């Protein structure tokens, strides 16, 4: 019989099908890389909005070649940094100004490189800039949340063929994050333990959903994942805010991220995926904060392969069907080269 | 400036872009109808699972031609009707058996007909069977929720080229519905009024998001819709359970649904979309029911055009970006032929 499982964090149920699909059962669209001239390649820095920051060769100047990783404001920002929040009612509804930030993190000067092929030294630079940007924007008291994410493949919302990640800073805590925070807090109130630390201990104890384990991180397929082959990367040390990551942990995260992406590509060849970092919301004055001094939240990175289409069932219910069990997905990922 | 709006029901924020896109700005995939032989067409009734019920010509027999609308069990059910719930813990997690029902509502004997072209008399039969199936399954105390939905177009999860809707009966209240119920209840506790009735009054007062209004229904684009051109159909009479719909209301709903779908097709030609009905969960013993005798919930039908792709931003945050404002979408829909 198929099995229903409850996502311990979100309270969401998923169905795990008993006749677990193998990787070859998924039909993936073919992606061609358009090799037209790219505005994000070195040499066209003056055609993009001026860079916010970069990691670059000594002796080279901002907005000129010589960069390794480069952060730009979005070409068409949804959120803008200037202005006040202007939170107000309109009839029975609520609205506010679109204050925040949209940034593009250009991950490499190489047009066709994939994150897993960048080399560890380069991946460390990318993650270091993730941390820098969050630490910088966190100072803005109007900003409540900062999300780092990546879209790889057209099916996953990719817009540039050049490798990029994105940063979106919002003046509200987005619903998905708020649900995680609320449920983690509720668990903490009841158990007086971090739900994420409990998940790590349980996954290590059971073992069958673990993809790999390093000194500072574990990668695993969550018990009640939303989609097949969803993989979480989580630090074994408890801390809520991504930007408190140490240098040693950055190195380790880079290695784990590259390894899991390499494994996914080995299994699925040209796989569309997203990943995103769920970190704690920005600290705000005590009256309105969501977490108890960070004891009840624990940052993590979620890799979301886009293998299946969503239908009216998923959109109408928020209930998901998993054609491959997390145990089988983890086994494929563990065993592949 | 772009504007952020809060979904009054779900507490979810969306960004409404100021440079509102027009319908021609959306690029839609071309759909071809595969004309291969279809197992759902009349004459092949013995190749499908035996029908659960049908509306058919007098003098014709179940599982033979002569039907107008026919309900079948799913070919590959996720949920099964036999067995007990078997709710239990596994380590720190929760699981249960996949008890419930998956049904296919074959909307017409005609292979290529679209819902908006079926004719009102036929649409009434389809909606009547929606009601019958919900009323029947509601008697099963193991079933907590019954979702009726439709997937039209491959991008929207369509599997059969023959026109069908689906029914999914689950032993838990799905998260999206639970969120609606919880928030509607919270609103009711505070205001002592149904949030949906308040939304209807507000939309009628403001008018700019109304698509059309009949004796028993309004169709409108919600203030903080998740996607562009999302349209809600809601009865103006307050009642929580779809299957308490009257004959007159069925007729009216059929007319409104066909009209709105016709308008969407006029604007977008071959538009992938989903629709689903959010009705109250099944009544259960008092200790565990979600609504206050139905005063705080109000069923509705949501039409969700699939015009844009989701990226890591939406999946990571639960925050959505609306490239067309609900006011503009409603204007296009009001004005089209």
| Chain B residue whose CA is closest to A312 | B274
- Least Cα distance to B271 among B152, B162, B160 occurs for B152
Do A174 and B202 count as a contact with CB atoms less than 8 A apart?
Answer: no
Q: In terms of residue numbers, what domain contains B274?
A: 3-335
Model ipTM? 0.91
Question: Rounded distance, CA B22 to CA A58, Å?
Answer: 47
> What are the tens digits of pLDDT across the range A161-188?
899 999 999 998 998 999 999 999 999 9
Instruction: Give the model's pLDDT for residue B30.
Output: 55
pLDDT for residue A285 is more than 60: no
Instruction: Give the model's pLDDT for residue A120.
Output: 97
> What are the tens digits of pLDDT across the range B282-292?
875 443 445 45
Q: Where are the alpha helices (DSSP H) in chain B?
A: 120-137, 175-191, 195-206, 247-268, 312-317, 326-335
Do B316 and A171 count as a contact with CB atoms less than 8 A apart?
Answer: no
- The first and second tokens of residue B213, run together, are 């209004």
Asked if the C-beta of A27 comes within 8 angstroms of chain B's C-beta atoms, the answer is no
DSSP category for residue B292: S
- The first and second tokens of residue B211, run together, are 């698509």
Among partner residues B92, B179, B312, which is closest to A202 by beta-carbon distance?
Answer: B92
Per the listing, tokens 């969306």 go with B14
What is this structure's pTM? Answer: 0.92
> What are the tens digits of pLDDT across the range B8-50?
767 677 777 777 677 777 766 655 555 568 999 999 999 999 9
Among partner residues B92, B145, B317, which is closest to A174 by beta-carbon distance?
Answer: B317
Q: What strand order describes the sheet that includes B320-322?
A: A88-90, A93-97, B3-6, B13-16, B320-322
Instruction: Give the model's pLDDT for residue A95.
Output: 87
Mean pLDDT value across residues B204-211: 96
> What are the tens digits of pLDDT across the range A10-36?
767 777 777 767 777 776 665 555 556
Do A93 and B223 count as a contact with CB atoms less than 8 A apart?
Answer: yes
Q: Which one of B317, B324, B326, B327 makes the best mutation probe of the A interface by having the most chain A beta carbons within 10 Å?
A: B317
pLDDT for residue B257 is more than 90: yes
Instruction: Give the model's pLDDT for residue A31.
Output: 53
Instruction: Give the model's pLDDT for residue A212.
Output: 97
Question: Rounded distance, CA B40 to CA A107, Å?
Answer: 50
> What are the tens digits of pLDDT across the range B72-127?
999 988 888 888 888 888 899 988 888 999 999 999 999 999 999 999 999 999 99
Q: Which one of A145, A271, A302, A313 makes the best mutation probe of the B interface by having the most chain B beta carbons within 10 Å?
A: A313
Rg of chain B (C-alpha set): 20
Q: Are strands A101-106 and A67-73 parallel, antiparallel or unpaired?
A: antiparallel
Question: Rounded distance, CA A31 to CA A50, Å?
Answer: 31
Rg of chain A (C-alpha set): 20
Do A174 and B94 count as a contact with CB atoms less than 8 A apart?
Answer: no
Question: Rounded distance, CA B331 to CA B326, Å?
Answer: 8
Largest CA distance in chain B: 64
Among partner residues B80, B223, B313, which is closest to A166 by beta-carbon distance?
Answer: B313
Do A317 and B15 count as a contact with CB atoms less than 8 A apart?
Answer: no
Question: Rounded distance, CA A149 to CA A161, Å?
Answer: 16
Mean pLDDT value across residues B174-194: 91
Q: Are strands A3-6 and B145-152 parallel, antiparallel or unpaired?
A: unpaired
pLDDT band of residue A311 (cuts 50, 70, 90) is very high
Instruction: Give the model's pLDDT for residue A248.
Output: 97
- Least Cα distance to B312 among A159, A330, A107, A28 occurs for A159
Give the CATH number of the domain where residue B299 resides. 3.30.428.10
Instruction: Give the model's pLDDT for residue A35.
Output: 58
Size of interface A-B (CB pairs under 8 A): 214
Question: Rounded distance, CA A291 to CA A279, Å?
Answer: 12
| Chain B residue whose CA is closest to A146 | B317
Phi and psi based region of residue B86 (left: phi greater than 0; alpha: psi -120 to 50; beta: remaining): left
CA angle B248, B249, B252 (to 5 degrees): 90
Instruction: Give the model's pLDDT for residue B271.
Output: 87
How far does B12 lie from chain A, in Å, by closest CA? 5
- The first and second tokens of residue A20, run together, are 């677990």
Instruction: Give the model's pLDDT for residue B5.
Output: 77
Question: Rounded distance, CA B304 to CA B63, Å?
Answer: 33
Per the listing, tokens 């990318």 go with A126
pLDDT for residue B319 is more than 60: yes
Per the listing, tokens 């509306």 go with B55
Per the listing, tokens 């070859």 go with A24
Question: Rounded distance, CA A55 to CA A53, Å?
Answer: 7
The structural domain count of chain A equals 1
CA torsion through residues A15, A17, A18, A24, sign: negative
Q: Which of A286-295, B120-129, B182-191, B216-225 is least confident?
A: A286-295
> What are the tens digits of pLDDT across the range A96-116?
888 999 999 999 999 999 999
pLDDT band of residue A287 (cuts 50, 70, 90) is very low
Do B202 and A171 count as a contact with CB atoms less than 8 A apart?
Answer: no
> What are the tens digits of pLDDT across the range A130-154?
999 999 999 998 999 999 999 999 8
Instruction: Give the model's pLDDT for residue A20.
Output: 67
Mean pLDDT value across residues B290-319: 87
Q: Does residue B153 sit in helix, strand or coil?
A: coil
């Amino acid at each position: 019989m198929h099995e229903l499982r409850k996502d311990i964090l979100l309270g969401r149920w998923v169905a795990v099908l008993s006749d677990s699909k193998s990787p070859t059962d998924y039909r993936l669209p073919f992606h061609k890389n358009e090799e037209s001239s790219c505005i994000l390649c070195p040499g066209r820095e003056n055609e993009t909005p001026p860079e916010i920051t970069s990691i670059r060769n000594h002796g080279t100047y901002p907005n000129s070649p010589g960069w390794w990783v480069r952060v730009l404001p979005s070409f068409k920002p949804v959120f803008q940094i200037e202005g006040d929040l202007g939170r107000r009612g309109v009839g029975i509804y609520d609205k506010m100004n679109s204050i925040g930030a949209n940034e593009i993190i250009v991950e490499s000067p190489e047009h066709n490189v994939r994150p897993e092929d960048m080399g560890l030294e380069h991946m460390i630079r990318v993650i270091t800039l993730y941390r820098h940007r969050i630490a910088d924007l966190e100072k803005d008291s109007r900003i409540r949340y900062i999300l780092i994410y990546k879209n790889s493949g057209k099916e996953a919302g990719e817009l540039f063929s050049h490798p990029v990640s994105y940063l979106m800073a919002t003046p509200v805590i987005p619903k998905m994050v708020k649900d995680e925070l609320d449920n983690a807090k509720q668990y903490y109130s009841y158990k007086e333990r971090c739900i994420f630390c409990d998940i790590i201990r349980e996954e290590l104890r059971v073992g069958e959903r673990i993809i790999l384990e390093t000194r500072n991180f574990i990668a695993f397929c969550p018990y009640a994942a939303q989609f097949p082959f969803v993989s979480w990367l989580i630090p074994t040390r408890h801390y809520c805010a991504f930007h408190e990551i140490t240098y040693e942990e950055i190195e380790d995260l880079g290695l784990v991220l590259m390894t899991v992406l390499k494994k996914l590509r080995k299994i699925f060849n040209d796989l569309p995926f997203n990943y995103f970092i769920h970190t704690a919301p920005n600290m705000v004055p005590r009256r309105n904060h969501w977490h108890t001094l960070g004891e009840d939240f624990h940052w993590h990175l979620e890799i979301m392969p886009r293998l299946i289409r969503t239908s009216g069932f998923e959109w109408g219910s928020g209930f998901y069907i998993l054609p491959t069990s997390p145990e089988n997905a983890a086994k494929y990922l563990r065993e592949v080269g």
